[in-house]
Amino acid sequence: MLAGFFMLTSCGSALQVSDDGGKISALDGLERVIELKQPAQRIVSLSPSVTETLYAIGAGGQVVGRDSFSNYPAEALQVQDVGGSMGGYSYETIASLQPDLVIAGEINTPEQVKALEDLGLKVFYLSNPVKLDSISVMITSVGILTGRDKEAKALNASLEKRIKAVTDLAATAADRPLVFYELDGSGPGNPWTPGPGTFLSELIAAAGGVNAGDALQSAWAQISSEQLLVQDPDIILLGDSIYGMTVEQVAARAGWSGLTAVQENRIYPFNDDLVSRPGPRLVDGLEELARLLHPELYE
Amino acid sequence: MKKRGLLNPFGISVLLLLAAVVLSVVVGSVTIPLRTLADVLFRGLQGGLSTLDPGGVYLKIIMQLRLPHAILILLVGAALAGSGAAYQGLFRNPLADPFLIGVSSGAGLGAVLAMLIDWPYAPLGLMVIPLAAFLGAALAVLAVSLLARVGKTVPTTNLILAGVAVSSFASAVTSGLMINSSGELRRALVWLLGGATRAGWEPVLAILPFMVIGLTGLVLVGHPLNVLQFGEEQAQQLGIRVQRVKWITVLLATISTAAAVAFAGIIGFVGLVVPHIMRLLYGGDYRRLIPLSILGGGAMLLLMDVAARTVMAPQEVPVGIITSLFGAPFFLWVLKRSKSQNYW
């Protein structure tokens, strides 16, 4: 019985949503069928990617609560904060908002989902998309849950078009620069970087580059300075610039002055929120990456 | 010496504990005016809804969130402080705390191991992690006890040293697993920082039997622990079966702290400091010290938890951070104020 279950979860991350005659029933990421009598009108979002998706499909007015990390778009900041930055949500604040739907993300633990359900709330657990082309599945689900199917469809079409524009252009590039993306360089001897199989790895490839972290084993890993000197990246992107890392600090690191990226001044701060949240802004991140990797194509 | 009425150490501790429970139910990120709260509770007890709370939201917040949470925190604080007091007596060491011989690192390893697997979203699946934490804690203490054994006795020094070694080893494995995993890291961190992520009555019911057995037992070992303060040989001559007292105390402390850690994560400092505060205030007789620590531990952790839920509301700070942040200065203040040169 257990074995059968594991098969289900390992392949069951895709979402299925159906909408017949006003009633909505949807299969969520925890393999449960969630039923709504009508599209959700009072939504609490527990993750930034969900919040950004809700606003992107015009459902922002239906959001009554959001987690502390949800800082985009600016209107979301006006909505009641329900906690979450240190792992704990204020369940009583969520209950007091009387939401008709709580959308949880992979950032949430099953224990948190259970705690909310015990309060009699409807919780939809939204699995993260794992590939660029599966964001559309997530957007479609959120669209159906909120009665914004048409907007979701339009958003998907425009995102698809923008992704195609970038990849088509990248295919014409003469070279594929080696990119080192720094997630956290507070220990400059071995900074954290995205490894193979991550969204960042896929985005850098789609933007016409090669991710230096692909040489590592784990999805999120520390790369040694030595390894970096051997690989000699052409471009360094500072995802940790939002935490205060600067181009000057990186250029001044011991042994880094010989790197091609440092000598050619190709170190750029990068808005990590664009690429760390699996929502519609990933495409903004992709376009930004493409412009930094291949400025010659965007002149 | 003995004061009458409520103004004895036990009376004061019980009153403080009750006050802490009330405060814990009254205070939260959602403000419920006292009059509303009283009306909601009064109507709720009669099975109805208050007119001030037509949607029943306040009743839900009080009965399904605040009250079970307060009781869980009370039990956890009581278990940690009671076990800490008993361990300080057993090891005759002022630095002894309930995590001394491996409970926390064993529980951490058990929990993180269980988190590596995707359990089904079902009542049983949600019990796996607390269960694994409990078993991890129990197994770590068992391993420490067996490793420390010399012939038929367990020398106290060996127990402490084996505890340190097993703890380090288990923590290293835990950190290694966490670094190598990707998704579960956050869940593990929340748990290790003492974030009680489960809400409602289930955790309370799950740990209640262990607490009742563990805490009742700990209160009863007060007398042998008193005698043990003369030294193991002396105690043996005075008719105390020292090895048996050791095993029983370790067993009782382990089941209560393991149950606490399973649902509340690792909460530091309470188990170390509350027994010392009680000792400074009321002396070192273990027959009184252990029950007073149990009452005081419950009250102190409840107050810390109220702080944890309100300082950054609606953020909830893991209570483990608050216990050390506020507990350490408070303890130093008590220590400074105490007149006795050598209270231990």
**How far, in Å, CA of B95 to CA of A278, rounded?**
47
Chain A CB contacts of B28 under 8 Å are 90, 92
Boundary of a domain, candidates A86, A118, A149: A149
Q: What pLDDT, on a 0 to 100 scale, did the predictor assign at position B320?
A: 81
**How far, in Å, CA of A299 to CA of A296, rounded?**
6
User: How close A158 comes to chain B (CA, Å)?
Assistant: 30
**How far, in Å, CA of A164 to CA of A232, rounded?**
30
Q: Look at B65 and A86 and tell me if their CB atoms are within 8 Å.
A: no
- Whether A43 is covered by a domain: the verdict is yes
Please give the interface size between A and B, counted as residue pairs whose CB atoms are below 8 Å apart. Answer: 107
Among A113, A119, A218, the residue with its CB nearest the CB of B180 is A218
**How far, in Å, CA of A291 to CA of A299, rounded?**
9
DSSP B92-131: T-TT--TTTTSHHHHHHHHHHHHHTS---SSHHHHHHHHH
Q: Look at A85 and B315 and tell me if their CB atoms are within 8 Å.
A: yes
Chain A CB contacts of B64 under 8 Å are 118-119
Residue A108: in which H helix or E strand, if any? none
- Whether A204 is covered by a domain: the verdict is yes
Number of domains in chain A: 2
Which residues of chain A have a pLDDT value below 50?
1-14
Chain B CB contacts of A32 under 8 Å are 121
Q: What pLDDT, on a 0 to 100 scale, did the predictor assign at position B50?
A: 82
Q: Look at A92 and B120 and tell me if their CB atoms are within 8 Å.
A: no
**Alpha-carbon distances, residue B337 vs B8, B16, B292, B341 (angstroms):** 20, 21, 20, 11
pLDDT digits (tens, 9 = 90+) for B249-293: 999 999 999 999 888 888 888 999 999 999 988 888 999 999 999
Q: Look at A111 and B186 and tell me if their CB atoms are within 8 Å.
A: no
Q: Look at A118 and B199 and tell me if their CB atoms are within 8 Å.
A: yes
**How far, in Å, CA of A189 to CA of A201, rounded?**
22
A138 and A180 co-located in one domain = no
pLDDT (mean) for B66-90: 94
A76 and A44 co-located in one domain = yes
pLDDT (mean) for B204-223: 94
Q: What pLDDT, on a 0 to 100 scale, did the predictor assign at position A3?
A: 34
**How far, in Å, CA of A133 to CA of A139, rounded?**
11
pLDDT band of B342, cuts 50, 70, 90: low
CATH (residue range B9-337): 1.10.3470.10
Report the mean per-residue pLDDT for chain B: 87
pLDDT digits (tens, 9 = 90+) for B49-59: 888 887 788 88
Containing domain of residue A54, as a range?
15-149
User: How close B146 comes to chain A (CA, Å)?
Assistant: 34
Q: What pLDDT, on a 0 to 100 scale, did the predictor assign at position B193?
A: 67
* A280 preceded by a cis bond (ω within 30 of 0): no
Q: What pLDDT, on a 0 to 100 scale, did the predictor assign at position A87?
A: 62
A251 and A196 co-located in one domain = yes
- Whether A159 is covered by a domain: the verdict is no
Rg of chain B taking only CA atoms, in angstroms = 21
DSSP B261-291: HHHH----SHHHHHHHHHHHHH-S-HHHHHH
Which domain CATH number covers A54? Answer: 3.40.50.1980
Q: What pLDDT, on a 0 to 100 scale, did the predictor assign at position B306?
A: 92
- Whether A163 is covered by a domain: the verdict is no
Q: What pLDDT, on a 0 to 100 scale, did the predictor assign at position A2?
A: 35
Chain B CB contacts of A119 under 8 Å are 60, 64-65, 199
A175 and A138 co-located in one domain = no
More confident residue, B332 or B166: B166
- Whether A8 is covered by a domain: the verdict is no
pLDDT band of B183, cuts 50, 70, 90: low
**How far, in Å, CA of A103 to CA of A64, rounded?**
12
Q: What pLDDT, on a 0 to 100 scale, did the predictor assign at position B111?
A: 86
**How far, in Å, CA of A176 to CA of A174, rounded?**
7
A145 and A175 co-located in one domain = no
Query: Residue with structure tokens 């209560």?
Result: B256
Strand pairing class (A16-20; A23-27)? antiparallel
Neighbours of B123 (CB within 10 A): 9
Q: What pLDDT, on a 0 to 100 scale, did the predictor assign at position B316?
A: 77
- Whether A88 is covered by a domain: the verdict is yes
For residue A297, which of A178, A238, A209, A231 has the smallest C-alpha distance?
A209
Using the Cβ of A4 and the Cβ atoms of chain B, whether some distance falls under 8 Å is answered with no
Is the per-residue pLDDT at B84 higher than 90?
yes
Q: What pLDDT, on a 0 to 100 scale, did the predictor assign at position B186?
A: 67
More confident residue, B125 or A20: B125
Boundary of a domain, candidates A149, A182, A199: A149
* A295 preceded by a cis bond (ω within 30 of 0): no
User: How close B303 comes to chain A (CA, Å)?
Assistant: 18
Q: Give the burial string for A227-239 (b: 16+ CB within 10 Å, else e).
A: ebeebebbbbbbb
- Whether A2 is covered by a domain: the verdict is no
Is the per-residue pLDDT at B2 higher than 60?
no
pLDDT band of B128, cuts 50, 70, 90: confident
Chain A CB contacts of B195 under 8 Å are 86-88
- Whether A77 is covered by a domain: the verdict is yes
Q: What pLDDT, on a 0 to 100 scale, did the predictor assign at position A19?
A: 60
Among A5, A80, A83, the residue with its CB nearest the CB of B120 is A5
Q: What pLDDT, on a 0 to 100 scale, did the predictor assign at position B5?
A: 63
DSSP B58-94: HHHIIIIIIHHHHHHHHHHHHHHHHHHHHHHHHTT-T
Q: What pLDDT, on a 0 to 100 scale, did the predictor assign at position A4?
A: 32
A189 and A113 co-located in one domain = no
Q: What pLDDT, on a 0 to 100 scale, did the predictor assign at position B185?
A: 67
Is the per-residue pLDDT at B296 higher than 90?
yes
